[in-house]
Amino acid sequence: MRDGVLLSADIYQPKAEGEFPAIVVRTPYGKTTDQSHQTGCFFAENGYAIMYMDVRGREDSDGEFIPYRNEGIDGYDSIEWIAAQPWCMGKVGTLGGSYLGRVQWLTALHKPPSLKTMIPLVTPSDPFVEWPTGLPNPQHICWVYRTSGRVQQNLNVVNWAEVYDHLPMIEMDEKTGRRSEQWKEEVRHSYLDDYWKHLCYQDKFDQIDLPVLHISGWYDDEQIGTPLNFIGMTHTDESKKSKHHQRLLMGPWPHQVNKSTTFGELEFGPTSIIDMHQYQLRWFDYWLKGIDNQLMEEAPVQIFVMGENKWRQEQEWPLARTAWTKYYLHSDGNANSLFGDGTLSAEKPKIGEPEEDHYRYDPSNPVPFITEMISSQIGGADDYSAIERRDDVLVYTTEKLTEDLEVTGPVTAEIYASTDGRDTDFMVKLLDVWPSGYAQRLTDGMVRGRFREGMETPKLLEPGEIYPFHVDCWNTSHVFKKGHKIRIEVASSAFPKYDRNLNTGDELGVTSEMKTANQTIYHNEQHPSAIVLPVIPKR
């Protein structure tokens, strides 16, 4: 690297003589895995030199590992190093998912001349887009522990449930048995300040002019980033050549994309798995070898529609024909739990109807978010019918659908609420209720009261005042089948997906004192709480 630090890489090359385009993959998880070897052999056999590199401070590479902080310039130096090799023709692409995806975006901002295209998968967003709480998601400590030191740490030696329960959060690292200054620093910076802005790329798409193949899954726990990146790269200055060279692929997958036709209790069918290596090869062949394989003649968006379990091609994202449809909250004042009287319909609340629902949020007994304890996949297509028995979960459900209804696109909610605390949270979850009672989670989101106007400007709440809370519930593509019901839940916790708001208004992450908050959700003519669904009309 430019500062003299040596990074270690494995390079797979074709057996033939000559010059070849190159692919760079930079990872903190070790370059010698079975998956790395299989991918390296595949691309070498198809005429590419592919380099797997341990990022700075990990595995065989020298230097100190500080997540993301050096990846932009190290990525630049790595790309230009391989481009200058006598067996490289000077054209380079990048590939990789999750941390390896964000690395590509941070590298692209430095504009390495030899970088011609990228394939980022399941890419994390800018700080606080996935975790809009001002604090790391509690399960992030699992990743911090895993990547502490030079090699992978054994996650099975830690009782993660006890770690996530520990307060204050700034001491959570010590509960694992490994002190982490990185964790403590991230907790101390509890809003979007310069410490975090150094890692932002989603506000800089105008600086990146590259063809990009964006890949993720509807159940990816970092899903929100990929559609946002596609939108950002396609809604830029018309003069950018790459504006029309973006492609989006969204499957019915978790964070480990394209591994199985099943997820939880769901079976998506044999077509839900594709030959990902061949799919990526076509992209690199077009942009790095100049092979005319009709790639750019195809629709730019390919999505898997769950429920219908079919792939479909589209021309844009979100879809131009979307009918943005509000489903309003109604009740007789007792929407608490699955057994309450909450309903959901396209009919707006009228004068004279009951106007509000109430519940108590106790941080010492948060609403569970169903997930495995380690952070490799947070949540899935889980059945929330048991969770919905709690009185601190408001449940609103439509009548049985008389015909299939497709919802494809970004899901948002506008919730009018008040609290007797200085700060609190509101969560909204979208579910498909099957005739059996299985309440399938589709997607969800949350807002923290102090960040209702943005992550840069925390402002505490006035107790008793009614506020509109805009909740980004991410994206989905799903057909609610005839006889099913649409449901949303409203609560104030989803633990351990998000940290618990302690309701005191104190500085985040450094205290243990907690208070119970009394919450009110309004659904009247003046405050019509609703979820906005991207309904796709039948063709």
Compute CA distances 460 → 131, 218, 358, 469, whole Å: 18, 33, 21, 13
Dist CA 416 CA 471 (whole Å): 11
Q: Which CATH architecture has domain 323-536?
A: Sandwich (2.60)
> Are the CB atoms for 336 and 359 separated by under 8 Å?
yes
Instruction: Single out the catalytic residue among 77, 173, 220, 423.
Output: 220
- Predicted pLDDT of residue 239: 82
Phi-psi label, residue 146: left if phi above 0, alpha if psi -120 to 50, beta otherwise:
alpha
CA 3 to chain centre: 34
Q: Is 244 a catalytic residue?
A: no
Q: What's the average model confidence in pLDDT over 407-414?
A: 98
Report whether pLDDT(236) > 90.
no
Q: Is 220 a catalytic residue?
A: yes
Report whether pLDDT(238) > 90.
no
For residue 250, which of 287, 206, 213, 199 has the smallest C-alpha distance?
Answer: 213
- Predicted pLDDT of residue 286: 98
Q: Tokens 């800018």 belong to which residue? A: 126
Dist CA 61 CA 150 (whole Å): 9
Q: Tokens 């049985």 belong to which residue? A: 400
- The predicted-structure confidence for 437-457, as pLDDT tens digits, reads as follows 999 999 999 999 999 999 999
**CB within 8 Å of 21: residues ≥ 6 apart:** 47, 48, 49, 88, 89, 91, 92, 93, 284, 288, 289
**Torsion over CA: 483, 380, 130, 476 (sign):** negative
> Are the CB atoms for 250 and 217 separated by under 8 Å?
yes
Report whether pLDDT(354) > 90.
no
Amino acid at 323: A
- The predicted-structure confidence for 153-169, as pLDDT tens digits, reads as follows 999 999 999 999 999 99
Instruction: Single out the catalytic residue among 61, 98, 148, 190.
Output: 98
Q: Tokens 């690292």 belong to which residue? A: 173
- The predicted-structure confidence for 302-316, as pLDDT tens digits, reads as follows 999 999 999 999 999
Dist CA 388 CA 526 (whole Å): 28
pLDDT band at 121 (very low <50, low <70, confident <90, very high): very high
Q: In what order do the strands lie in the sheet with 49-54?
A: 9-12, 49-54, 20-27, 88-97, 115-121, 212-217, 246-251, 301-305, 310-314
Dist CA 309 CA 268 (whole Å): 6
Q: Tokens 């590479």 belong to which residue? A: 61
Q: Is 98 a catalytic residue?
A: yes
Instruction: Single out the catalytic residue among 140, 214, 245, 255.
Output: 255
Phi-psi label, residue 309: left if phi above 0, alpha if psi -120 to 50, beta otherwise:
left
Dist CA 373 CA 165 (whole Å): 12
pLDDT band at 20 (very low <50, low <70, confident <90, very high): very high
Dist CA 168 CA 513 (whole Å): 9
pLDDT band at 77 (very low <50, low <70, confident <90, very high): very high
**What are the domain boundaries of the chain?**
137-189, 323-536
Dist CA 248 CA 159 (whole Å): 38
